[in-house]
Chain A
């Protein structure tokens, strides 16, 4: 009855009047979007396009940029050993961080998915690092891994009679420390997403599984994990983008022992390298090429991830 009432006038009206009415209804929405659209265009689209242009120029920030075509990309991809170091470090760091963060987040979500006070409090505690000032957190990590005897890690070692370790100035420790920091800081956020995903899985599926005699592990493998695929995809892709963009951990924590990138570039990642080339060495054109290369890498990996997930879903 209601449908008929709504449809009747629309069929009776001429086509032009319907369009005008729709337009009139839409205008306030578009007007309200304008402030965001302006900011989006001014602070995201415009800088992006500028960076794309600068990537094809030799620009030092002060003198006018000069067009060099693909030279920056050629140098970056075929001649720059620091870029290769940064890329390899980034790939190792991203794969370790995303895998461990996702696994830890899922484990935490399974453990604390309930509505009891204990679960709520623990979820809050695990989520806290996500909303704490990054700089403050990084300064604490710097203290924890200080090479001096008062550093927390070295204090713990001293209880067992071990000599202090120069954590931050020993290259083979750099990536593991960065991964530890990232997993600690990121698993709480992933946990919250997983909890919402877990609570959205219909209970009937588990009931049916139990009736069929499925064990807890089988329920997890054949009900929980498949049902969590969209959520897992989201957690993995956002984690991957965040991990590729790591900067503060490298810049702040390892600042105590070296310039950008950690000792012997052992912690050099793509964004710190971009910063180094742009703001230390004034090669803003080259830095823009790094930025767009980073974008392409993230874009391609995300696309692959989405395709793989879709293919798995269709199996």
Chain B
């Protein structure tokens, strides 16, 4: 019996020692392998978007015979974890696209290549500075360059507004809430809804910019969320839910607009593509406008996707070249056409001057053009990725628990300062 116990203990010790031998992985990018390059591209998004990207990749192959790129779609829901797993195991795709903040996240972990070593100055010149700033790490590294943009758009039903005595889409906060009251009185059950980060910090961020506030100082040394502007923004944002009946959960904007249950929506630009195809009865009945302005004027959040190369790729040069090629007129034209043809969606290139060629109505194109002049991307300051969810909780407490906005913002500031280091 004793002998068996000794044997079991020795086996357990051996296994424990073996378990502890994991040494992790290196972070140095590989050198370029010789010969033709076969690259795998994980494109976060729908199958249709991946198919559109494959068309662009095939065109790239025609121009670069020795580079073959296979595009696979990965879903937003688990894309983040999948890319982390790839970075950890140092196997998987050569190129990835994903959330605007993913580049800095995975890059700082050592999972992505700093594209500064592959001359991305042309792309930097062509991208809006607010967007470029968001994808540049505090140390100056660029682990992924913007691939597309998502903007906030104000959607509305002109007929319902007119019926309620609202002549034009609201241009200011005051006009917005007056319109909500009038629409409610005219029988619209839920006059205003929000979509894209509903009840989280994203829509609040629009109010923050419109009130003239910010999250951090420009040099990322100070947290500035606990300002008077932020208090005003938070109070106004919270009043949407408390006084004006904006739903706190994500809603089907298209269906609600089509049924006349909603008359106005603050939502992402990607929603526009699905209205006519998903709700044929809505065709011709909806319009767009820039978000209503606040005391400091216009302002809204800009999101989108980055595209970059994984640090373990055997073909970093080819991967970086393809990433940069996505900024060419030809690539943008292909993506604008194919994304619209295959999924009915609007592709907004990070090159704002090409917006004029996007598959969109004049009204929507004009809205996007105007919106672009006052956008701000997510902060690139240290710790924001961790802080974002914590900020949302403090904001939600203002609505759900009637917490004092100043106290809530002070708590959020403390969390952000702690994560800023």
CB–CB B250/A257 < 8 A: yes
- Let me know if A134 is at the binding interface, CB within 8 A: no
Instruction: List CB contacts (< 8 Å) of A224-241 with chain B.
Output: none
Residue of B nearest to A147 (CB): B249
Instruction: List CB contacts (< 8 Å) of B65-101 with chain A.
Output: 77, 80-81, 84, 87-88
Q: How far is the CB of A122 from chain B (nearest CB, A)?
A: 35
Interface size class of B (residues with CB under 8 A): 35 or more
Residue of B nearest to A145 (CB): B249
- Let me know if A8 is at the binding interface, CB within 8 A: no
- Let me know if B283 is at the binding interface, CB within 8 A: no
Instruction: List CB contacts (< 8 Å) of A60-77 with chain B.
Output: 60-65
- Let me know if A148 is at the binding interface, CB within 8 A: yes
Residue of B nearest to A142 (CB): B249
Residues in B with CB closer than 8 Å to A280 are: 80
CB–CB B247/A148 < 8 A: yes
CB–CB A279/B24 < 8 A: no
Residues in A with CB closer than 8 Å to B20 are: 49, 53
Residues in B with CB closer than 8 Å to A259 are: 200, 389, 392
- Let me know if B10 is at the binding interface, CB within 8 A: no
Q: Quick one: CB contact mask for A256-267 with B, threshold 8 Å, 1 for yes?
A: 111110011100
Q: How far is the CB of A10 from chain B (nearest CB, A)?
A: 22
- Let me know if B119 is at the binding interface, CB within 8 A: no
CB–CB A49/B250 < 8 A: no
CB–CB A50/B19 < 8 A: yes
CB–CB B84/A263 < 8 A: no
With contacts A61-B87, A166-B249 known, is A279 near B198, CB below 8 A?
no
- Let me know if A196 is at the binding interface, CB within 8 A: no
Residues in A with CB closer than 8 Å to B189 are: 149
Instruction: List CB contacts (< 8 Å) of B7-29 with chain A.
Output: 15-16, 18-20, 22-27
CB–CB A61/B385 < 8 A: no
CB–CB B24/A63 < 8 A: yes
- Let me know if A169 is at the binding interface, CB within 8 A: yes
Residue of A nearest to B81 (CB): A279
State A265–B393 Cα separation when bound (angstroms): 8
With contacts A65-B24, A147-B247, A257-B250 known, is A46 near B15, CB below 8 A?
yes
Q: How far is the CB of B203 from chain A (nearest CB, A)?
A: 13
- Let me know if A171 is at the binding interface, CB within 8 A: yes
Q: Quick one: CB contact mask for A116-158 with B, threshold 8 Å, 1 for yes?
A: 0000000000000000000000000000001111000000000
- Let me know if A170 is at the binding interface, CB within 8 A: yes
Interface size class of A (residues with CB under 8 A): 35 or more
State A152–B200 Cα separation when bound (angstroms): 25
CB–CB A62/B400 < 8 A: no
Residues in A with CB closer than 8 Å to B247 are: 147-148, 166
- Let me know if B296 is at the binding interface, CB within 8 A: no
- Let me know if B397 is at the binding interface, CB within 8 A: yes
CB–CB A62/B88 < 8 A: yes
CB–CB A50/B250 < 8 A: no
CB–CB A168/B249 < 8 A: yes
- Let me know if A20 is at the binding interface, CB within 8 A: no
- Let me know if B349 is at the binding interface, CB within 8 A: no
Q: Quick one: CB contact mask for B84-125 with A, threshold 8 Å, 1 for yes?
A: 100110000000000000000110011100000000000000
State A49–B14 Cα separation when bound (angstroms): 11
- Let me know if A244 is at the binding interface, CB within 8 A: no
State A257–B200 Cα separation when bound (angstroms): 8
Cβ-neighbour of A282 out of B105, B251, B400 (below 8 A): B105
Q: How far is the CB of B103 from chain A (nearest CB, A)?
A: 14
Cβ-neighbour of B400 out of A46, A49, A264 (below 8 A): A264
CB–CB B200/A279 < 8 A: no
A62, A147, A170, A282, most chain B CB atoms within 10 A: A62
CB–CB A263/B396 < 8 A: yes
State A62–B20 Cα separation when bound (angstroms): 16
CB–CB B389/A59 < 8 A: no
CB–CB B19/A53 < 8 A: yes
State A255–B50 Cα separation when bound (angstroms): 24
CB–CB B24/A62 < 8 A: yes
CB–CB B248/A166 < 8 A: yes
With contacts A45-B15, A170-B400 known, is A50 near B248, CB below 8 A?
no
Residues in B with CB closer than 8 Å to A148 are: 247, 249, 251-252, 256
Q: How far is the CB of B19 from chain A (nearest CB, A)?
A: 3
CB–CB B87/A62 < 8 A: yes
State A159–B400 Cα separation when bound (angstroms): 26
The 3 closest A-B pairs by CB, nearest first: A49-B19, A64-B24, A147-B249
Between-chain CB contacts (< 8 Å), 24 pairs: A41-B15, A46-B15, A46-B19, A49-B19, A49-B20, A50-B19, A52-B16, A53-B16, A53-B19, A62-B88, A62-B111, A63-B110, A147-B251, A148-B256, A166-B249, A168-B249, A256-B249, A256-B250, A258-B392, A259-B392, A264-B393, A264-B396, A281-B385, A281-B386
19 more contacts with CB within 8 A, not counting A50-B22, A170-B400, are A46-B19, A53-B16, A53-B22, A61-B109, A62-B25, A62-B87, A62-B106, A63-B24, A63-B25, A64-B23, A64-B26, A148-B249, A166-B247, A169-B199, A169-B248, A257-B249, A258-B199, A263-B396, A279-B80
